[in-house]
Amino acid sequence: MVGLPAVRNYWPDTKCAKAFWSQQEVRPYRQLLADTVGWCAPAPGDRWLDLGCGSGPLSRALWERTQGTVDEVLGLDCATANEEAYAQLRAGLSPPPESRLRFLCHNFSDGLDILPDESFDHAVSGLSISYAESYSEAEGCWTAAAYDRILGEVIRVIRPGGRFVFSVNVPEPKWWWVGVLSLGDMFRAGRPLRFLRRARRMMRYGGWLKREARTGRFHYLPAAQVTEKLLAAGFERVEHRTSYAGQAFIFRAYKPGA
């Protein structure tokens, strides 16, 4: 982005991407995943956009919840390493999804102009849209413009009556509490030393995220503010709940019907 200050962006890095793959092993994240997919309520024939998909846990869950009867799931993320993860995901699913489950490498901070209007029935996102970043040269600071834009883009690319189900972290998330509740998983998953190395790496990235959020680059917002933004973007019937050991909100909002 033009005018962006000299700051480190770890999101496209393979090490960062793979570090966040490992969160799928812990109970707080598995609960968040179950809560999110429960609110998605996917149905046969649906077309889903998985925004900021990572290695595809939500894409997998949508596929498995419908026993492979969704029409399409598109995972979109800025890390090229997730292409490999989606290839492995497709190889392990039954029935084989082939082109009905695919990955697109794209930074959603730049918008979703690559996707046509109303090309999906619904959209889902897991702990991702908070990282839509935009810097204003004129104001000399980070702004929420990219965050607001992505909400408007989601409502553009889903059909009338479609829903957007997504999770975002609460203000000042307590990563240590998630870690405490995950200690038992260290032994259940096997290879505890590898588990600890991954956990330490995730905590390091988590510290980076919180520091950047305090500068306004990333956005850990109160639920009331997220609701206001959704309504301003044109969504209706906005509701939310907490999950992820109290460290995340899940939102569900609907695009007005035709």
pLDDT at residue 64 in the model: 95
Which structural domain, as residue segments, surrounds residue 238? 23-254
* Residue 158, C-beta contacts closer than 8 angstroms, at least 6 positions apart: 49, 118, 120, 121, 122, 123, 164, 255
Give which of 74, 73, 67 is closest to 94, Cα–Cα: 67
pLDDT > 90? residue 127 = yes
Residue 158 lies in a domain: yes
The 10s digit of each residue's pLDDT in 100-119 is 999 999 999 999 999 999 99
Residue 235 lies in a domain: yes
The segment with the largest mean pLDDT, out of 83-92, 155-164, 193-202, is 155-164
Residue 16 lies in a domain: no
Residue 92 lies in a domain: yes
The 10s digit of each residue's pLDDT in 181-224 is 666 665 566 666 666 666 677 778 788 889 999 999 999 999 99
Q: Which residue has the higher pLDDT, 8 or 125?
A: 125
Work out the pLDDT band at 88, boundaries 50, 70, 90: very high
DSSP 218: S
* Residue 236, C-beta contacts closer than 8 angstroms, at least 6 positions apart: 253, 254, 255, 256
Residue 11 lies in a domain: no
CATH number of the structural domain spanning residue 167: 3.40.50.150
**14-21 and 192-214 are packed helices; what angle lies between their axes, rounded to 10 degrees?**
110
pLDDT at residue 89 in the model: 94
Query: Alpha carbon 201 to chain centroid distance?
Result: 19
State how far the Cα of 148 lies from the Cα of 226, in Å rounded to an integer: 10
Residue 97 lies in a domain: yes
pLDDT > 70? residue 21 = no
Checking DSSP bridges between strand 122-126 and strand 47-51, what pairing results, if any?
parallel
State how far the Cα of 49 lies from the Cα of 189, in Å rounded to an integer: 30
Identity of the residue numbered 123: A
Give which of 64, 72, 61 is closest to 120, Cα–Cα: 72
Kindly state the average pLDDT of the residues 4-16.
71
Residue 228 lies in a domain: yes
The segment with the largest mean pLDDT, out of 12-16, 22-26, 182-186, is 12-16
Q: Above pLDDT 90, what percent of the chain?
A: 71
Number of domains comprising the chain = 1
Identity of the residue numbered 53: C
> Can you read off the two tokens belonging to residue 133?
């970043």
pLDDT at residue 184 in the model: 63
**In 132-227, where do the E strands start and end?**
134-136, 141-143, 163-169
* Residue 79 · residue 12 · CB < 8 Å: yes
Q: What is the mean pLDDT of the chain?
A: 89
pLDDT at residue 202 in the model: 72
* Residue 88, C-beta contacts closer than 8 angstroms, at least 6 positions apart: none
Q: Which of 141-155, 174-188, 220-234 has the lowest mean pLDDT?
A: 174-188
State how far the Cα of 113 lies from the Cα of 255, in Å rounded to an integer: 19
pLDDT at residue 1 in the model: 44
State how far the Cα of 212 lies from the Cα of 243, in Å rounded to an integer: 23
Residue with structure tokens 């839509």?
132
The 10s digit of each residue's pLDDT in 33-56 is 999 999 999 999 999 999 999 999
Residue 12 lies in a domain: no
State how far the Cα of 171 lies from the Cα of 213, in Å rounded to an integer: 9
Work out the pLDDT band at 2, boundaries 50, 70, 90: very low
